Structures are given as C-alpha cells and as structure tokens.
C-alpha cells in the first residue's frame, strides 16, 4: 500500500515541478525584456559607454559648444562637432537647427537636443578627424585609433523624427 501512494503522488508532483520551472523561466525572460526596454532615451555618452546595440536608439544631448559645419549630408543637413563641456560628439543637424544653436550663447544657455543614434562610418570618422585635428597643435592631434575615446562609435541624428 505504501508503494502505491508514492507512485500516485510522484506524477502530479513531477508535473507540478515542470510547470513551475517553465513558469519561472518565462517570468525571468519577461522581466529581462521589460528591464532592457525600461530606458526610453539615453544620454549620448551613456549610450556610447554601454555594451548594448547602440544603433537606432533614442538619444539626447546637452550642447554647450558647436563647431562650424564639417560635412554635409544631403540637402539642408550637416554634421557638426559638439560638446557638453565634458566630451565631444558628432551630430547631424538640419541647417535650420544648426543656425538656431549658433545664435545662442550655449555656454551660458545649453540646449538639449533629441535624436536617434547612428553608427559612425569610416568616411565620417576621417572627416571628423581632419576637422578636429585642423584646429589643434601638433601634439594635441589624435589618430584614427584614438577616435573612439574622443567621439565614440555613434553620432546623434537630430534630423530623424523620434519614433
């Protein structure tokens, strides 16, 4: 009789344990997905320092300085080197937005812009380096190897509408 009771309870307990493991595994996966989507927008520097996929993320940046246009991208858009007085970044702005930013005393009245992060291609890196280095003394110039530590691997595209 004792062995019959053990057999009768074994199957329901086993099924219960399997269902519990499946439920717990699903819950862990769901919580990880929720946690990874928790950040709606990234400050550009935090995104650059992160280990996540950096392309096509909602980003923002507080600008305190802006360079003249260093390159164009199609009609009415240009690339600029900007700074938050801590780090340098590359941004793609409409000519209208760039003109607006250049008319403001950004050092005393910083402006926050929103956009989408985009992977930096090799050609743009070269253009950024040429422009950056053209304003530096010989001992302050940086190489392509040092590019990431100065500008990161993505730029903020302010010309795209946020999703």
Say which residue the tokens 């980003």 belong to. 59
163: three-class secondary structure by DSSP: coil
What span, in angstroms and rounded, lies between the C-alpha atoms of 79 and 115?
A: 13
CATH of the domain at 114: 2.40.50
Same domain (yes/no): 20, 68:
no
Same domain (yes/no): 31, 52:
no
What confidence category does residue 34 fall into, taking pLDDT thresholds of 50, 70 and 90?
very low
* Closest C-alpha to 118, from 58, 35, 37, 67: 58
Whether pLDDT at 106 is above 60: yes
Q: What is the pLDDT of residue 4?
A: 54
Domain count, the chain: 2
Same domain (yes/no): 124, 142:
yes
Same domain (yes/no): 141, 95:
yes
Q: Which domain holds residue 99?
A: 42-157
Q: What is the pLDDT of residue 79?
A: 96
Instruction: Work out the mean pLDDT of the chain and round it to a whole number.
Output: 85
Same domain (yes/no): 83, 132:
yes
Same domain (yes/no): 20, 78:
no
132: three-class secondary structure by DSSP: helix
> What sign results for the dihedral spanned by CA atoms 36, 33, 56, 154?
positive
Measured in whole angstroms, how far is the alpha carbon of residue 31 from the centre of its chain? 22
On whether residue 26 sits in a domain, the answer given is yes
Q: What is the pLDDT of residue 6?
A: 55
Query: What are the phi and psi torsion angles at 77 (to 5°)?
Result: -135, 150
Say which residue the tokens 């520097």 belong to. 45
Whether pLDDT at 35 is above 50: no
On whether residue 162 sits in a domain, the answer given is no
Q: Report residue 117 as tokens.
A: 């992060």
Same domain (yes/no): 86, 29:
no
On whether residue 132 sits in a domain, the answer given is yes
Measured in whole angstroms, how far is the alpha carbon of residue 162 from the centre of its chain? 13
On whether residue 163 sits in a domain, the answer given is no
pLDDT tens track for 129-138: 999 999 899 9
Same domain (yes/no): 113, 151:
yes
pLDDT tens track for 55-98: 999 999 999 999 999 999 878 899 999 999 999 999 999 999 99
Same domain (yes/no): 34, 111:
no
Same domain (yes/no): 53, 98:
yes
Same domain (yes/no): 26, 65:
no
Residue 154 makes CB contacts below 8 A (sequence gap 6+) with 44, 47, 48, 54, 55, 117, 118, 119, 120
Q: What is the pLDDT of residue 73?
A: 84
Measured in whole angstroms, how far is the alpha carbon of residue 29 from the centre of its chain? 23
């Amino acid at each position: 009789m004792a062995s019959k009771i053990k057999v009768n309870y074994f199957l329901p307990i086993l099924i219960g344990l399997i269902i519990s493991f499946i439920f717990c595994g699903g819950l862990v996966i769901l919580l990880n997905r929720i946690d990874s989507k928790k950040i709606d927008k990234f400050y550009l520097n935090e995104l650059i320092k992160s280990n996540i996929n950096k392309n096509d993320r909602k980003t923002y940046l507080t600008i305190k300085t802006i360079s003249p246009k260093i390159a164009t991208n199609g009609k009415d858009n240009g690339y600029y080197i900007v700074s938050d007085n801590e780090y340098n970044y590359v941004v793609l702005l409409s000519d209208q937005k760039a003109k607006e930013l250049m008319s403001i005393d950004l050092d005393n009245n910083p402006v926050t812009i929103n956009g989408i992060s985009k992977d930096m291609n090799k050609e743009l890196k070269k253009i950024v380096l040429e422009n950056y280095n053209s304003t530096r003394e010989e001992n302050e110039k940086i190489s392509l190897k040092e590019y990431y530590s100065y500008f990161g691997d993505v730029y903020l595209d302010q010309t795209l509408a946020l999703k």
